[in-house]
């Protein structure tokens, strides 16, 4: 019995502590990749990120080109990236297929050499993390670097999937509200729902029961979006904010405010 216990203990110690599975289903055939399978691919290589979005410093990863894991992906398609912590973000297939310099990589955490903890008590970025080289070439925002990744799914346009989040058809195409909706989709919608619709489960709904535009002054809401800790000191808070023009321009911030103000006056009569 003692020998058997020692053998089991040795086996457990030999097993990877953070090995995981990544499920990919873009409509061209579902596939589950294990950590070991990904690290054993012939196209895995070291990728250096000079200014990593999650770690706020230079990082180096074992990674594979993301498009190599997405056979059949076509221009015009959209993908949904879902993380273990409830974060969910849509990324256009065009960005991943971009040939102008930006490239998406799937970084893989090696169980034998785990990544450091994320700053700000945010846990671990593993087991999988989408990172970008030369992201400015495709205007990649900070929200398009999903970590703690669990699955990648093919998806539809957000307005088609979640009609209660969309402005009415009567809103002009060049309206700040429509621009704000577009900005909202690539920033806020990765963590929040609106009118009860959305995939994310990391943050609260931004229109039910009240919009933040109804209980915060415009100046306070702008300051909160730029730096959440400026409104309420909470070291464990997970919202990182958008502190610079590069992360969110003043014009885009104004547009988000216009969209949220509009949606506060246009809640659906029957909520999902």
What gap in Å lies between CA 93 and CA 78, rounded to an integer?
Answer: 5
Match 């990674």 to its residue by tokens.
63
pLDDT per position as a tens digit, 18-69: 579 999 998 878 999 999 999 999 999 999 999 999 999 999 999 999 999 9
pLDDT per position as a tens digit, 149-166: 999 999 988 888 899 999
- Specify the number of domains making up the chain: 2
Domain assignment present for residue 241? The answer is yes
Shared-domain flag, residues 124 and 170:
no
- Among 224, 260, 261, 257, smallest CA distance to 243 is for 224
What gap in Å lies between CA 227 and CA 215, rounded to an integer?
Answer: 17
Domain final residue, candidates 128, 155, 182: 155
Domain assignment present for residue 246? The answer is yes
Domain final residue, candidates 155, 190, 220: 155
pLDDT per position as a tens digit, 201-227: 888 999 999 999 999 999 999 999 988
Peptide bond into 127 cis (omega under 30): yes
Peptide bond into 109 cis (omega under 30): no
Shared-domain flag, residues 28 and 145:
yes
Verdict on whether the full-model pTM lies above 0.75: no
């Amino acid at each position: 019995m003692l020998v058997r216990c020692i053998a089991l203990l040795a086996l457990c110690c030999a097993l990877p502590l953070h090995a995981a599975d990544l499920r990919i289903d873009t409509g061209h055939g579902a596939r589950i990749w294990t950590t070991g399978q990904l690290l054993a691919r012939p196209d895995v290589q070291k990728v250096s990120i000079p200014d990593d979005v999650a770690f706020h410093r230079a990082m180096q990863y074992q990674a594979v080109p993301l498009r190599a894991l997405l056979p059949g992906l076509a221009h015009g398609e959209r993908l949904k990236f879902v993380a273990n912590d409830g974060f969910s973000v849509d990324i256009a297939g065009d960005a991943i297929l971009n040939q102008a310099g930006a490239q998406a990589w799937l970084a893989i955490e090696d169980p034998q050499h785990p990544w450091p903890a994320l700053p700000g008590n945010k846990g671990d970025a593993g087991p999988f993390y989408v990172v970008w080289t030369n992201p400015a070439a495709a205007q990649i925002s900070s929200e398009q670097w999903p970590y703690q990744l669990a699955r990648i799914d093919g998806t539809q346009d957000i307005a088609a999937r979640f009609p209660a989040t969309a402005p009415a058809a009567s809103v002009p195409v060049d309206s700040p509200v429509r621009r704000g909706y577009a900005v909202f989709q690539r920033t806020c919608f990765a963590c929040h729902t609106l009118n009860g619709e959305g995939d994310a489960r990391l943050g609260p709904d931004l229109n039910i029961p009240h919009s933040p535009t109804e209980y915060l002054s415009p100046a306070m809401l702008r300051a909160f979006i730029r730096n959440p800790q400026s409104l309420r000191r909470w070291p464990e808070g997970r919202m990182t904010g958008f502190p610079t023009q590069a992360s969110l321009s003043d014009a885009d911030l104004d547009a988000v405010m216009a969209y949220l103000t509009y949606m506060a006056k246009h809640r659906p009569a029957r909520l999902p």
